[in-house]
Amino acid sequence: METKNRKVLILLCLLLPAVSYAQGTSARLDSLFKSVAAKDMFNGNVLVAQQGKILYRKSFGYADLERKKLNNVNTGFQLASLSKVFTAIAVLQLYEQGKLRLDETFRTYIPKFPYQEITIRQLLSHTSGLSDQDLAAAFTAFENTTGRRPITTTWWQSWRPPM
């Protein structure tokens, strides 16, 4: 990412709370995001909520530039390792609510998970010893248990490690 784009993104992250609280209107948020998107410095979806109430929701830019397919609220994005932070926060919120214990095995919640001894704490701290190459079986177990395909399953099944 270019330095200029990084600075704009950081600025947006810092200003967004001030804008949403100080002005409190979707029109002001819309003006902010439209101006940044018009300068080709933002491409994605925005959702601003406060206490469970959606204050602003809009999509900007293209999901597929070549085909001129616009982003929409259902557009999926490759977040790479950023999703780890969101997952960790969600898991720790469940821990704070007393809905899970960090030292329980993952199999407590997903019984078909193929690794019996791995705990939630180990997964969160990347100390389980689980290799990336071992995850295909875990994705299959997830799908069999929940009836849903993990978002990364398609990517994972087509990925081949470099030789």
**Annotated catalytic residue, options 26, 81, 125, 131:** 81
- Orientation of helix 3-22 relative to helix 26-38, angle to 10°: 170
Stated length of the chain: 163
Which positions ≥6 away from 137 have C-beta within 8 Å?
A: 114
Q: Report how far apart, in Å, the C-alpha atoms of 4 and of each of 7, 10, 11, 42, 139 are.
A: 5, 10, 11, 12, 38
CB 137 within 8 A of CB 114: yes
What SS3 state is found at 59?
strand
Q: Is 81 part of the annotated catalytic residue set?
A: yes
CA distance 108 to 77: 30
**Inter-residue contact 147 to 139 (CB < 8 Å):** no
- Residue positions annotated with a catalytic role: 81
